[in-house]
């Protein structure tokens, strides 16, 4: 791949699937037996905070049982060895990219291992449950911490950084995402508009598949290491 210097990579649930973390869009439209409106909206949280805390406490606890897979490891290697600009934008709220060693990483949909205090508006690293109304480590308020997850209707993190990186990108790669959720689903359009080459790696064609220059279908654990080898040897 000639003349590539700046790369933006978007990852979704498909990157973590081979580590044993469930993807979002199952055929029944439910997310681990819950309606998205109940567990991934501010309204759902206002209605039943205990249910939402239990839901994310279980996902956070699950992180202790899973490990990065070859796709995370390959992206960490790209991060370590790529001499140009690189931004890995993940929609995933797990910590598998960073545990594999990725550093140039942006969690646009938040992180399970972060808690947001609604009293003082500060974020704190968080590894345990939130369901027992712990005190905020910053302001000491009790019962005010919520999962630091971007829910539907909320603004994703880092959009200005992402937009700048997309505008400068020579290559945009989308990995393991269904292309169902905006703004991430629109990144391919921005990248194309700015003349980047665009590649999708996914188990099946995503909803935006036709917008990519190239679509490689298969498992992320196989496709991503191959692409990284290609990029680093070019
Ligand atoms: P989805 O569950 O919508 O899509 C996952 C995609 O990964 C699907 O297209 C699968 O075919 C593909 N896939 C599954 N296993 C794979 C594998 N081993 N290798 C490669 N691809 C595989 O997940 P996302 O697109 O990440 O938002 O979902 C986007 C957002 O919707 C999430 O970040 C979340 C959710 O609501 C928030 O929580 C705000």
For CA atoms 226, 73, 13, 67, the dihedral sign is: positive
Residue to substitute in 30, 181, 199, 204 for testing ligand 1 pocket (most ligand atoms within 8 angstroms of CB) = 181
What is the pLDDT confidence band of residue 34, given thresholds at 50, 70 and 90? Answer: confident
Inform me whether the pLDDT recorded for 66 exceeds 70: yes
d(CA 100, CA 72): 6
Ligand 1 pocket list (CB less than 6 A): 12-14, 17-18, 23-25, 40, 91, 109, 149-150, 176-178, 180-181, 202-204, 206, 219-220
Mean pLDDT of the chain: 95
d(CA 48, CA 55): 11
Give SS3 for 117: strand
Inform me whether the pLDDT recorded for 79 exceeds 80: yes
Inform me whether the pLDDT recorded for 1 exceeds 70: no
Expressed in angstroms and rounded, the spacing between residue 108 Cα and the centre of ligand 1 is 14
- Dump pLDDT digits (tens) for 80-114: 999 999 999 999 999 999 999 999 999 999 999 99
- Dump pLDDT digits (tens) for 169-210: 999 999 999 999 999 999 999 999 999 999 999 999 999 999
d(CA 155, CA 137): 25
b/e burial code for range 24-36 (CB count within 10 A of at least 16 → b):
beeeeeebeeeee
- Dump pLDDT digits (tens) for 7-17: 999 999 999 99
Angle at 216 between CA 86 and CA 190, to 5 degrees: 45
- Dump pLDDT digits (tens) for 122-146: 999 999 999 999 999 999 999 999 9
Give the other-Cβ count within 10 Å of 161's Cβ: 13
């Amino acid at each position: 791949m000639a003349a590539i210097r700046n790369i933006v990579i978007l990852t979704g649930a498909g990157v973590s699937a081979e580590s044993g973390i469930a993807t979002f869009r199952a055929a029944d439209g439910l997310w681990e037996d819950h309606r998205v409106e109940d567990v991934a909206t501010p309204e759902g949280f206002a209605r039943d905070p205990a249910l939402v805390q239990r839901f994310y406490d279980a996902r956070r606890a699950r992180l202790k049982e899973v490990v990065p897979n070859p796709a995370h490891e390959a992206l960490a290697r790209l991060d370590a060895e790529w001499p140009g600009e690189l931004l890995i934008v993940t929609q995933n709220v797990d910590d598998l990219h960073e545990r594999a060693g990725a550093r140039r990483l942006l969690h646009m949909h938040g992180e399970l291992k972060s808690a947001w205090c609604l009293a003082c508006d500060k974020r704190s690293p968080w590894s345990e449950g939130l369901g027992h109304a712990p005190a905020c480590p910053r302001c000491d308020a009790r019962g005010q911490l919520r999962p630091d997850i971007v829910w539907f209707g909320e603004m994703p993190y880092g959009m200005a950084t992402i937009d700048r990186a997309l505008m400068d990108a020579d290559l945009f790669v989308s990995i393991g995402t269904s292309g169902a959720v905006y703004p991430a689903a629109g990144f391919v359009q921005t990248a194309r508009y700015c003349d980047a080459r665009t590649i999708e790696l996914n188990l099946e064609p995503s909803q935006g598949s036709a917008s990519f220059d190239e679509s490689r279908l298969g498992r992320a654990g196989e496709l991503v290491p191959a692409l990284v080898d290609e990029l680093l040897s070019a």
